[in-house]
A and B are shown apart, each in its own frame.
Chain A
Amino acid sequence: MISVIRICSFIGLLLLASACKAPGLKIGNLDVGGLVNQGIALWDVSSIDEAQEIQFGQNMSAVLLGTRQLHPNVEINQYVNKVGLWLASLSSRPNLNWRFGVINSDAINAFAAPGGFVFVTSGMLMQLDNEAQLAAVLAHEIIHVTEQHHLNAIKSGTMRTAITETLFISAEAYQGNTNADQKDREYTAWARTVSGAAQELYSKGLDRDDELLADSGGIALLAKAGYDPMEFYSALQLLESIAPDDTSLALLYKTHPTPTERITHLAEQLGEFSSLQGRMLAQRYQRTIFAQ
C-alpha cells in the first residue's frame, strides 16, 4: 500500500513539477507540495543532466564526509588526487569535475558518488603496498562514476525511496532562498532526505554485477594508464589475506562480492593483461603514505 502511495506521489510530483502548483502533497515527512509552491526546483531522474549529477554527488559526498571527515594531511590528499586525475583523464568521462579525497577512517574501503567524487579511506591506504594498487582501487570507483551505477540504482526502482524523497529536491531548496528561517527549514528537510538516500546506497551497496563490471573496467583503465595490471589482482589478494571477520572490512564485505569471488571473475581477463608490463611505483607510494 505504501509503495502504491509512493508511486502515485511520484507521478503526482512530475505533474506538480511542470505545473509549479501543489496542493499540499507530502512524500514521507517531506512537504513536497509546499516546496514546489515556494518555487523550489525539482529534478526528474530520467532526464538528469551533468550539473544535476554533480550536485547530487556533492550531496552524497557530504553524507560520506559527515560520517568521517577528510584526513588532515594535505599532501596525501593531493597525491591521491594526482593518481586519480591521471586515471580519470583516460576514462570515458575525462571532463567531469573529478575530485578525490582521503576519508580519515580505520575502515578499509573506498566510495564513489555521482558526478566525479571518489574517496578512499586512510585504512585502505595503510594496507596497500604500491601506487598501482591505489590506482586499482581508484579505477574501480571511477568506473562506478563513468557508468553512473549509483544513479542507475536509483532509477532502477531498487532505491525508490531515494527517488521520491531525495533526487527531486535540489540543493537550491536551501541555497536559493534568502529567508533564514525558511532556508534552515528546507535545509533540514533536504539533509534528512539526502542522508536517507546516501545511507541506503552506501549501506546496501550496488548491484553485484555493477561491482564486477567496475572490476573488469577498472583493470582495463589501470593498464591503460601505464600501471601494472597484475597489481589489480595483487590488491584483491591482499584484501583476501586479511581476516574476513576483521571489523574494518565489515562494510566493504557487506557491499561487495568477496575478494575471492572478484578474483575468480577477473581470472577470465588474466590472459588479456598478463603479458602487459607496467609501473608499480612502490617507492613513491611508501615515501608519500608512510614516511612524511
Chain B
Amino acid sequence: MNQKHPFWLVLMVIASISSLAQADSVSTKKAEVVKKSPLLETPSNASEHIKQLSPKQSLNVYERQRAWYRVTTSDMVEGWVKMLNLRMLGRVKREGDLGVVTMLDSVNPLKTKPTTSTGIRGFDEEDLMKASADLDQVALLENFVIDNSELKRFVMNGQLSARPIKSANEEQTDD
C-alpha cells in the first residue's frame, strides 16, 4: 500500500505544476458588458469587427492581453473586447487563512474555497472604536525587515527592473 504513495505524489506534483504554468493567464471569469462595445477579431482598435455587444450582455472571459480581454458570448462567438468595457461578476470570495488554501484552488477564482475554522476577524468601525494602541506590535515590524542584498535578489529573481515613468505626483523622482 505504501508503494502507491510516490505515484500519487508524482501525479499531484504534475497537477500543481500544470496549474501553475497557466497562472499568468486569466482564469475563466464571468463578466458583463458595461457599454456598447465592438467584439473584435484581434486585440487592436484596427481589427475587424465581429459583432456589436450590448450593455448587460454576459460573457466568459479567458485571458487578458494588455488592455483587452479574450471572451466568448453566450452563443459561443469568440473575440476581443476592451478591458474597461467589462465588469467582472460574481467572484466567489476566497475563505480560509494564508498558507492554508491549496495551490490548485488558488489558481481558480471561480471555485469555492475550503473554509477553515479561523473565526471571524473583522476590521470595521466598531473594532476601531474599541481599539487601544499596541506599541509592542509595532515593534514586531522590525522582525520583517530585509537587507539590501536580499531585496536585490528578490528583484532579480522576479526579473523586475525599474524604468522611467512620468506622473503628476512622482515626476520628481525621475531627475
List chain A positions with a Cβ less than 8 A from chain B: 58-59, 61-71, 73-74, 76-78, 80-82, 85-86, 89-92, 94, 99-107, 109, 117, 121-123, 125-127, 129-131, 143, 146-147, 191, 194-195, 198-199, 202-203, 213, 216-217, 219-221, 223-227, 230, 233-234, 237-238, 240-243, 246-248, 250-251, 254, 260, 263, 267, 270, 274-275, 279-284, 286-287, 289-292
Contact B99 A290 (CB under 8 A): yes
Beta-carbon contacts under 8 Å, B79-128 to A: 83-84, 86-91, 93-103, 105-107, 109, 118, 120-125, 127-128
Contact A85 B146 (CB under 8 A): yes
**Of the candidates B26, B158, B164, which one forms a contact with A224 in the assembled complex, judged by CB atoms under 8 Å apart?**
B164
- Nearest B residue to A263 via CB reads B84
Instruction: List chain A residues, Cβ under 8 A from B172.
Output: 92
Contact B125 A254 (CB under 8 A): yes
| B20, B97, B129, B142: residue with the most chain A Cβ atoms closer than 10 Å | B97
B151 within 8 A of A: yes
| A59, A71, A125, A290: residue with the most chain B Cβ atoms closer than 10 Å | A290
Cα–Cα distance between A282 and B63 once the two chains are bound (Å):
14
B165 within 8 A of A: yes
User: Main SS of the interface on chain B?
Assistant: loop
A selection of 28 A-B contacts at a CB cut-off of 8 Å is: A59-B133, A62-B137, A63-B128, A63-B132, A65-B134, A67-B127, A68-B127, A77-B144, A80-B144, A90-B162, A92-B170, A100-B144, A102-B98, A104-B121, A106-B123, A126-B94, A126-B95, A129-B109, A194-B133, A199-B128, A221-B165, A238-B91, A251-B123, A251-B128, A282-B24, A283-B24, A289-B99, A291-B103
Instruction: List chain B residues, Cβ under 8 A from A289.
Output: 98-99, 106
Contact B122 A217 (CB under 8 A): no
Contact B96 A126 (CB under 8 A): yes
**Of the candidates A126, A191, A246, which one forms a contact with B101 in the assembled complex, judged by CB atoms under 8 Å apart?**
A126
Instruction: List chain A residues, Cβ under 8 A from B103.
Output: 286-287, 290-291
Instruction: List chain B residues, Cβ under 8 A from A63.
Output: 128, 131-133
Contact A195 B132 (CB under 8 A): yes
Contact B158 A290 (CB under 8 A): no
Contact A291 B125 (CB under 8 A): no
Contact B93 A127 (CB under 8 A): yes
**Of the candidates A58, A241, A251, which one forms a contact with B135 in the assembled complex, judged by CB atoms under 8 Å apart?**
A58
Cα–Cα distance between A259 and B96 once the two chains are bound (Å):
24
B75 within 8 A of A: no
Contact A81-B163, Cβ < 8 Å, known A68-B127, A195-B131, A247-B122: no
Cα–Cα distance between A27 and B68 once the two chains are bound (Å):
57
Contact B84 A267 (CB under 8 A): yes
B173 within 8 A of A: yes
Cα–Cα distance between A92 and B138 once the two chains are bound (Å):
24
Beta-carbon contacts under 8 Å, B12-30 to A: 20, 23-24, 26, 29
Contact A233-B83, Cβ < 8 Å, known A71-B98, A216-B167, A216-B168: yes
Rounded to whole Å, the gap between the CB of A135 and the closest CB of chain B is: 9
Rounded to whole Å, the gap between the CB of A101 and the closest CB of chain B is: 5
Contact A291 B102 (CB under 8 A): yes
- Nearest A residue to B125 via CB reads A203
